[in-house]
Structure 1
Amino acid sequence: MATITKRESGKWQAKIRIGGNIRSATFRTKGEATSWANSLENEISAVRAGNTPNRTVGEMLEKYIIEELPKKRGERQDTLRMRRIQRDHLLADISLRDIQPSDIAEWRDRRLDKVSSASVLRELSTLSHSFTVAMKEWGWIRLNPCHAINKPDTAPPRTRRYTQDEIDRLLLACGYDHNEKPLTIQSRVGSALLFAFETGMRAGEIVGIKPEHIDIERRIVHLPKTKNGHPRDVPLSREAIRLLEQLDGIAAPGKPVFAISSGSLDALFRKARERAMIEGVRFHDSRAEGLTRLAKKLSPMELAKVSGHRDLRILLNTYYREDPASLADKLD
């Protein structure tokens, strides 16, 4: 049975004990709290009876967005992906009782007509996880329909590299000067670009660096949070240290040293790219450029420590791009 109580704030809290766990939520009125509790109790009864609750894919995604995505580092991007799927009513309006792998396959094909296979793979991964949570945690569905379809072909890795001429033009477009502090946000885009070349770090990692993460004496920057969820230490070249020292005093105390957000970095880089009249290059290509340069100095195991890759095959196939002719020279 649910317990409905009025809080000091004037709002109403509903609590339901499920096994050894308690689910609770707070509402503006007693009626809303009671309605939520009754709905949850009906779902629990249906699951215990072996029935799938009469919910749609869109309702499942809404619950997933609210309850699960806040736990993930990529919450913002994953939320945008799930909202796009919710707007596809050919999929979102299907009842979980009726969902079939063919419905997911048709959605996949509709998306492939509009976006790249890489984008569809990312959306499919998050969609599949939402079905897994609904199956294992909520008892809303018995099988994950995403597991029974073919995934889009993986696009080959990007091989786009920066030329020195492009780098010079981008730095000029950013207003970056090697001999002056990058006081403007636009000039710090140039600084971040050079820092990525030196470290192979991602844009989000770069803009998140705080003073306490930097150890100049040991020549490392500590990344407490990374894309794969594992912290790592990145060694710093003399040029990387110069770039960090050039930023000294620009950011407010305790704030990230580059004093720029990921969104601003991306937007301002695109503007600089347009001014420099360069096509086909992205800021994220700077990570690949940096890791390719480091691959000439470090072994695969050493590079994996720097980059955070947990699959050495990615490093070997993507960043160790030795020309066979140059390898032949090493044999003599």
Structure 2
Amino acid sequence: MRDVRRPAMPDHRERVISGLEVRKMLRTLGWSRRAPVRSVAQAVANAFLLALQTGCRAGEICGLRWSDVGAGFFAVDGKTGKRDVPAVPATMRTIALMCGFDDELVFGLRSQSLAAMFRKYRGRAGLAGFTFHDARHTAATRLAQRLHVLDLCKMFGWSSTTRALVYYNPKAVEIASRITGAAPTRSLR
């Protein structure tokens, strides 16, 4: 047993879902910003959108009850305990689209079904390389540019600011563009 070593910790995923990939997924899932949800695919689209807007996990989204939704926030019970998630008007509109789909649960989905449907429609959209959980990375990366790190930690349920470094995944050219105030340039390759 002297030669046996503990396996190395795997690298953290650093996948941020692009705007084009988001639009393709929403189109494939039949998402509409005006019509109420009538199919499971549309419920998956709204769950994906909520994950992108708030960084909530699939289990938190699937466990969200109508009684947990308030004015400007909603309460989730997740891996790190209960927390209130701030909801901007766009987030509240995403939740409102779910009215009438399920009487008790906002999205009316189980997390296993959400993951399976997400993979199925990602394939139909001709996309690969990202998971539903990568929407959490995408949300953290986008929100980190607008929120103080402590607010971001509170919103995501992190007890340590070092967790933000795992989920915040900007590209070097994006950081450089913020330093110089210029638009990011295309790769020379």
Which bracket does the TM-score occupy, shorter chain normalised? 0.7 to 0.9
1:310–1:250 CA distance, 2 compared to 1 (3 A): same
Q: Which amino acid aligns with 1:260?
A: L
SS at match of 1:231: strand
Unpaired stretches in structure 1, ≥5 consecutive residues? 1-101, 106-149
Q: Deviations over 1:178-222 (max 9, x none)?
A: 121121111111111111111110010001110111112xx1111
**What is the rounded CA distance, in whole Å, between the counterparts of 1:207 and 1:309 in structure 2?**
20
1:173–1:327 CA distance, 2 compared to 1 (3 A): closer
Q: Are residues 1:214 and 2:63 paired? A: no
Pick from 158, 161, 169 the counterpart of residue 24 of structure 2. Answer: 169
| Structure number having the greater helix percentage | 1
The ranges of structure 1 where at least 4 consecutive aligned residues each deviate by more than 6 angstroms after the TM superposition are none
1:314 to partner: Cα distance: 2.2
**What is the rounded CA distance, in whole Å, between the counterparts of 2:84 and 2:39 in structure 1?**
28
Q: Which residue of 2 aligns with 1:287?
A: 136
Pick from 102, 108, 111 the counterpart of residue 251 of structure 1. Answer: 102
CA contact (8 A) 1:200 1:288 kept: yes
- The alignment covers a number of residue pairs equal to 178
Q: Which residue of 2 aligns with 1:316?
A: 165
Q: Which residue of 2 aligns with 1:151?
A: 6
Q: Which residue of 2 aligns with 1:260?
A: 109
**What is the rounded CA distance, in whole Å, between the counterparts of 1:173 and 1:299 in structure 2?**
35
Tell me the TM-score normalised to structure 1 length. Answer: 0.51
Q: Which amino acid aligns with 2:24?
A: R
Q: Are residues 1:227 and 2:44 paired? A: no
Pick from 183, 187, 192 the counterpart of residue 47 of structure 2. Answer: 192
1:275–1:320 CA distance, 2 compared to 1 (3 A): closer
SS at match of 2:11: coil
Unpaired stretches in structure 2, ≥5 consecutive residues? 182-189
Q: Which amino acid aligns with 1:206?
A: I
Pick from 201, 210, 228 the counterpart of residue 56 of structure 2. Answer: 201
Tell me the TM-score normalised to structure 2 length. Answer: 0.87
SS at match of 1:264: helix
Q: Which residue of 2 aligns with 1:7?
A: none
Q: Which residue of 2 aligns with 1:82?
A: none
Q: Are residues 1:299 and 2:148 paired? A: yes
**What is the rounded CA distance, in whole Å, between the counterparts of 1:238 and 1:271 in structure 2?**
30
SS at match of 1:247: coil
**What is the rounded CA distance, in whole Å, between the counterparts of 1:179 and 1:245 in structure 2?**
10
Q: Return the index of the structure with the highest Cα Rg.
A: 1
CA RMSD, 1 decimal:
1.9
1:185–1:317 CA distance, 2 compared to 1 (3 A): closer
- Larger mean Cα displacement after TM superposition, 260-269 or 155-164: 155-164
**What is the rounded CA distance, in whole Å, between the counterparts of 1:163 and 1:320 in structure 2?**
12
1:324–1:246 CA distance, 2 compared to 1 (3 A): closer
Q: Which amino acid aligns with 1:294?
A: L
